[in-house]
Chains A and B, each alone.
Chain A
Amino acid sequence: MSSSTELTEKKVFLLKSLDGVIFEVEESVAVQLEVIRELIEGDCARPFISLYNVTSEILALVIEYCKHHAETCSGGTSATIADEDLKTFDNEFMNVDENILLELCSAADYLDIKSLFELTCRTLASLIKDRTIIEVRKMFNVENDFSVVEEKAVRKEFAWAFK
């Protein structure tokens, strides 16, 4: 393993992204990724863990998120201050382009990071709640498979939602 292991006596793991970039993360960060925790427990985490579904751009963000959460939770600050700190961090962390948000959501699901999955789903939900149907179709690449008559009927049935 890398020399930092011997120096700090902290276990580190290597994560390899889809595009081949290798990230070194400490155990406290790695175990927040549920899939990786399982691999570590099963002693299958050597020499590195390949994450085929996550690009280096997204993996860097995911690691930043997990690192901040791991540090805040073990920092010895009171629960209230830690909560406030995480809230502020999460808010700033979610202030990214919506395509990045979609990819983060997908990565959080794949890596099984419950808090990040919840955060990205909620952020995406509040982002789209006031959007028009056409905007939402475009954002999620959904094809409109209603005929004109069908769409009119559905719109009429749920007219209360368009008020």
Chain B
Amino acid sequence: MLKKKPSSVTSSPPLSSSPPSSPYQNDAVSDDAYAMMGPTLPSDLITSILLRLPVKSLGKFKCVSKQWLHTISDPHFVSMHRSLSLHNPNLLLLKKSPVLQEAHMKKCTRIDVCSLNFDGSCKNLEFSLYLNDDAKYIEMLPSKWDIICFVSENGFYVCNPSKQEMLKLPEASCCTSEEVNAGMGYVKERDEYVLVHLFDKSLDIHVD
């Protein structure tokens, strides 16, 4: 998606005879204070910078001011941010390992997530998620947009790496076949994630 055309500033030709207008709103501060505080950017430039921040920083900066909260929460901003992120993809590395715990505790699996720049030059994120699932096989499914989907014999999980959240999906089908043909998709028109799970009932394992 194209970035929003920088507004007003460029629309008037520099040759116009109108008095010089500063690109910065000085807010009536003296020159000394101005020099100390640095320039104040117009809000559309601040938005352009915010559009290039990782989601976690955006969550944090919602607390900067009411205007920033409003800007970052705006659905148009969210969709622009998503489109822009697609032009600058990250590599996501996942490593899963069982967590050995005390006997009385629930067994779980740890998933280490690491995100790198596409050329591997810079590490953007590194964290671990815990799944209350001790299944031997936890597999990652084809995932779309900003959600990663996992499956084990106990059910489906979705992970939002930006928010470092993990959620178990409600049980849906009674499929017990070992092979899972499923994938996560995203329907842009409805802004909904869809999990498609194909299975063959005749392969179900029945235990009498």
21 residue pairs A–B, Cβ–Cβ below 8 Å: A35-B13, A49-B14, A49-B15, A52-B20, A99-B39, A107-B23, A109-B45, A109-B48, A122-B52, A124-B49, A125-B49, A130-B57, A133-B64, A141-B37, A141-B40, A145-B65, A145-B66, A146-B63, A158-B59, A160-B59, A160-B164
**Within 8 Å of chain B (Cβ to Cβ): is A144?**
yes
Residue in chain A with minimal CB distance to B7: A109
Residue in chain B with minimal CB distance to A132: B60
How many whole Å from B81's CB to the nearest CB in chain A? 11
Chain A residues, CB < 8 A from B42:
106
Chain A residues at the B interface, C-beta cutoff of 8 Å: 18, 34-36, 38-39, 44, 49-53, 98-99, 102-103, 105-107, 109-112, 117-118, 121-122, 124-125, 128-130, 133, 136-146, 151, 154-155, 158, 160-163
Mostly, the B contact residues are loop
Task: Check B23 against A154 for contact (C-beta < 8 Å).
Answer: no
**Within 8 Å of chain A (Cβ to Cβ): is B6?**
yes
A-B contact count (CB 8 A): 131
In the bound complex, what is the Cα–Cα distance between A106 and B39 (angstroms)? 9
**Within 8 Å of chain A (Cβ to Cβ): is B27?**
yes
Task: Check B57 against A129 for contact (C-beta < 8 Å).
Answer: yes
Task: Check A133 against B60 for contact (C-beta < 8 Å).
Answer: yes
How many whole Å from A13's CB to the nearest CB in chain B? 12
Given the known inter-chain contacts A49-B15, A53-B23, A121-B52, please indicate yes or no for A154 contacting B69, CB distance below 8 A.
yes
Chain A residues, CB < 8 A from B120:
none
Chain B residues, CB < 8 A from A143:
65
Task: Check B49 against A105 for contact (C-beta < 8 Å).
Answer: yes
